[in-house]
Structure 1
């Protein structure tokens, strides 16, 4: 075969092999992701890396989170070099060389110190603040110290020992729970908002969330029993707490929320509000006398609910038979206190409360302004509380404050009873902390006589403007006793005083209502004592109406004084 033919044959065979190789590659095509990895590897081996791949050789570390200790290439285009003459070039070379010889080590040290200082400052800023998303989806800086704080205290808030503080805004999960409940209720047609506002902007709910985050008990005194919006905020806040605790590795062997209701209908209503949370991992069980006890026992054995809604009588039956353990309940809600104030319900509520270990955060809906419900509320709320009410009525603002009205025959009897109340307060051993007592006087009253009587009892009256009374012996165990003039009522801070005494009732009824609605804001043990004589018959009628509006017992002597009021006016 000629040499030319051999060359032609080799060329033809090479073309055939190339065509076959190309066909085989197309039949075994790789995915786009693998092809990208292969291409990146080829570029890296050939030295043609892209600028975005610059971090392949210097990843950030905990010691160097901002990668400042590695030499980074400037991603910006370099500025064109300025042309220099030979003389300038030579001068610059000599100058640079001498500067380097003179300051070489010092310059490098200064540069390293600046870089290290920059890293420390940036790390401090990162620790002091973080970027979070608010409920509207906007970025905002949040102080880590003001973020959710969990303060663990032994023996408090059930078995979980938690007291939470959240000083910013409700979490995304809480808003998601509220939206889930609202969408489900609107779909069923069982929820129609009068203002047509979403649940997460409900005024009551926002106030509840603030008080709940503080870790204090809550007394709700708006009037009626819990509404749909109120129940939705309570269960959503509890679900949010469970979610945060589970992220911290905490588990719940017992129900987290115990919702006590007065009837089967109310239990079904509360459970229907909680039902949409099942998709988010929150299981609710309703217990009431409408179903057989054995059926409910079997149902409780097959599940571990986070929320438990029950009537008191059926719950006691299950607790007595050890079908359910409520010792680790962290949030207790008592709804419909008016129904529980009669019959044997107070004893049932006390037994349920005793079955819960520790001090769970308690929410009480007090729809009964009768003074008969005060002992039950005091049993449930033994710690410092927040009063939550969107109503500005006298009955709502003065809920659980006992109004004691005494009609005396002489000024000496009034002074004697005023001192007796003070002695009883000192000798009262029912309260863990001393109560604060306040006397309210008028300018022409017998202030000097009372001060002299208190000095005989061993008290000392200070001469300053506040007229504070204190005892030299065991003063730390005594309540703080103060005196103010009637003209100071509008500016005085009355919310810390549990006991207020008005020795001479000559103040207007508006001032009396002002004191009643602003005293004892953080306790359910408030008492307002008033002393009248026949000379005060003109205010007996308005005072009687105020007592009746607040559901307080009206003394017979005060009613008789009302009958004599026209005679005194003449």
Structure 2
């Protein structure tokens, strides 16, 4: 019987599929001999062999004398090293800053940590029971002690976190340092990173305390100091952005005296653009219209400007400085040379009184003192890398009163009638003279309360007399100068100049630490002629005016 076309077609398709299957198997597989060799090699590499291969491929050993394991080794489990996750670099640097701050605090208060530990141990001992009480009560008390210690540990950790720079601030310092090192701009002899700067850590403490800063090292700002200032400002901006939208006006105003200084500050601020901090530099080197358009198109967080160009923009109402949170005045000596001190004072009138300020005072002339007093209105922290007399006594006016013994008493009492002395804490330095009781009686007659200061005493309060507040007057013996704290006194009167020149320097460099309105009055008579020469040297070093009568006394004493 003949087969149909469908049957023939099915048979052909089946043959073709079989043929194709055979070709695929032959191309992908190997012969049985090669497959056995490959399998034996794999077993040999893994240490598993057939029983028939045991004596052929292995010999008895001391560990396996009867060859029970057929040459197989006891593979120990590989102990995988647990790799700790890589900590963020900013967190590592933040811990380094915490370590620096701890070392500084331990140097100041070495016994603070031991006191904390002993107090905590004593608290645990007191809370633990000593009598035979039920075990349940004992467990409850022990649990309460543990919870207390855990809470105290968390509180200490929170305090430590608040007492060190944030991760964002250290990240800003890293960005600046990496950029400047690549450009070759920043090169430190000791090759220390920016975040371990002693000046930077001290500045951050003043900044976090909310105080104005007076920098009296005698130089203008360095790259290291600019980096810490702009990084701290960037940290404040990031925190404000978390709370809510910030104002449209710039956050920081950096006043410089020249275009070259503006370019230097701009190079330090430029790396922060990656973190969203935009900086604008305003100086006479560019056209005024171009700078006005730039200010309108961008909303910068930092603005670097010279006083003359900034006043032009303010006169045209192209910029508003009412929202400025931070004012940096860099180098009063350069402003004094260019004649910009009056312009700096006028710019301060456009800024709010609550604006915090940082002044780099490298000019120790008496003419610069009123400018500093205008710029710094709040509580001031003095920051300096220099321990010289000129830097430590910056902005303290030294007044030498040449008078006779009869005139000295009336002049000493008249000082308290000045407007400045009425609003400050006054200290009289007296010697072991029998005439001091006359001074005390004259001051009490004027309505002032008198308190004698020792090394541990505090300043007295003001008293009210006839509707007017009279400032309290403190008195101290000249022998106690080196053991007393003088930082709170803004007005010091050296009534008897019988003390040594070292005591005079001690008073000058330790008074008025929290203000820029310090005044030191010294009463000089013919009996103190031997101190005229050293006193003139100190007055000239500090840029103070020297009375002609004092110079004549110095010449006459040298001749004698």
* TM-score, normalised via structure 2 length: 0.70
Is 1:192 equivalent to 2:187 in the alignment?
A: yes
Q: Deviations over 1:300-343 (max 9, x none)?
A: 11111100000011111112212222210101100011122356
Q: Deviations over 1:436-481 (max 9, x none)?
A: 0000011125201112222332335458967969655179833331
Q: For residue 488 of structure 1, what is the aligned residue in structure 2?
A: 480
Distance in 2 (CA, whole Å) between partners of 1:462 and 1:270 is 50
Q: For residue 511 of structure 1, what is the aligned residue in structure 2?
A: 503
User: How many pairs does the alignment contain?
Assistant: 423
Is 1:142 equivalent to 2:136 in the alignment?
A: no
Distance 1:126 1:329, change over 3 A: farther
* Secondary structure in structure 2 of the residue aligned to 1:326: coil
Q: Which runs of 5+ in 2 are unaligned?
A: 1-135
Answer whether contact 1:460 1:472 (CA < 8 A) is retained. no
Answer whether contact 2:453 2:475 (CA < 8 A) is retained. no
* Secondary structure in structure 2 of the residue aligned to 1:333: strand
Q: For residue 265 of structure 1, what is the aligned residue in structure 2?
A: 260
- Residue 119 of structure 1: how far off its partner (Å): 11
Distance in 1 (CA, whole Å) between partners of 2:313 and 2:343 is 13
Q: For residue 255 of structure 1, what is the aligned residue in structure 2?
A: 250
Distance in 1 (CA, whole Å) between partners of 2:429 and 2:453 is 16
- Residue 493 of structure 1: how far off its partner (Å): 1.1
Q: For residue 348 of structure 2, what is the aligned residue in structure 1?
A: 353
1:84-483 paired onto structure 2 within 5 Å: 130=154, 142-143=157-158, 146=159, 166=162, 168-341=163-336, 345-408=340-403, 410-425=404-419, 434-444=423-433, 446-461=435-450, 471-473=463-465, 477-483=469-475
Distance in 2 (CA, whole Å) between partners of 1:305 and 1:473 is 54
Answer whether contact 1:341 1:376 (CA < 8 A) is retained. no
Distance 1:282 1:413, change over 3 A: same
* TM-score, normalised via structure 1 length: 0.69
Distance 1:271 1:445, change over 3 A: farther
Distance 1:282 1:406, change over 3 A: same
- Residue 128 of structure 1: how far off its partner (Å): 6.9
Distance in 2 (CA, whole Å) between partners of 1:283 and 1:181 is 14
Q: For residue 541 of structure 1, what is the aligned residue in structure 2?
A: 533
Choose 381-390 or 317-326, whichever is displaced more: 317-326
Distance in 1 (CA, whole Å) between partners of 2:467 and 2:493 is 20
Q: Deviations over 1:404-432 (max 9, x none)?
A: 00111x2121111100001225775xxxx
- Residue 345 of structure 1: how far off its partner (Å): 2.0
Distance in 2 (CA, whole Å) between partners of 1:391 and 1:474 is 47
Distance in 1 (CA, whole Å) between partners of 2:238 and 2:153 is 23
Which structure: larger Rg?
2
Q: Deviations over 1:270-310 (max 9, x none)?
A: 00000000001101110000000011111111111100000
Choose 555-564 or 394-403, whichever is displaced more: 555-564
* Secondary structure in structure 2 of the residue aligned to 1:512: helix
Distance 1:328 1:488, change over 3 A: same
Distance in 1 (CA, whole Å) between partners of 2:364 and 2:201 is 25
Distance in 2 (CA, whole Å) between partners of 1:284 and 1:277 is 9
* Secondary structure in structure 1 of the residue aligned to 2:300: coil
Distance in 2 (CA, whole Å) between partners of 1:441 and 1:247 is 56
Distance in 2 (CA, whole Å) between partners of 1:462 and 1:272 is 55
Distance in 2 (CA, whole Å) between partners of 1:288 and 1:494 is 43
- Residue 347 of structure 1: how far off its partner (Å): 2.6
Distance in 2 (CA, whole Å) between partners of 1:224 and 1:464 is 37
CA RMSD of aligned residues (A): 2.9
Answer whether contact 2:463 2:469 (CA < 8 A) is retained. no
Answer whether contact 1:405 1:531 (CA < 8 A) is retained. yes
- Residue 566 of structure 1: how far off its partner (Å): 2.9
Distance 1:359 1:371, change over 3 A: same
Distance in 2 (CA, whole Å) between partners of 1:175 and 1:462 is 48
Answer whether contact 1:435 1:480 (CA < 8 A) is retained. no
Choose 343-352 or 202-211, whichever is displaced more: 343-352
Choose 526-535 or 316-325, whichever is displaced more: 316-325
Q: For residue 561 of structure 1, what is the aligned residue in structure 2?
A: 553
* Secondary structure in structure 2 of the residue aligned to 1:553: coil
* Secondary structure in structure 2 of the residue aligned to 1:363: strand
Answer whether contact 1:217 1:361 (CA < 8 A) is retained. yes
Distance in 1 (CA, whole Å) between partners of 2:466 and 2:335 is 40
* Secondary structure in structure 2 of the residue aligned to 1:520: coil
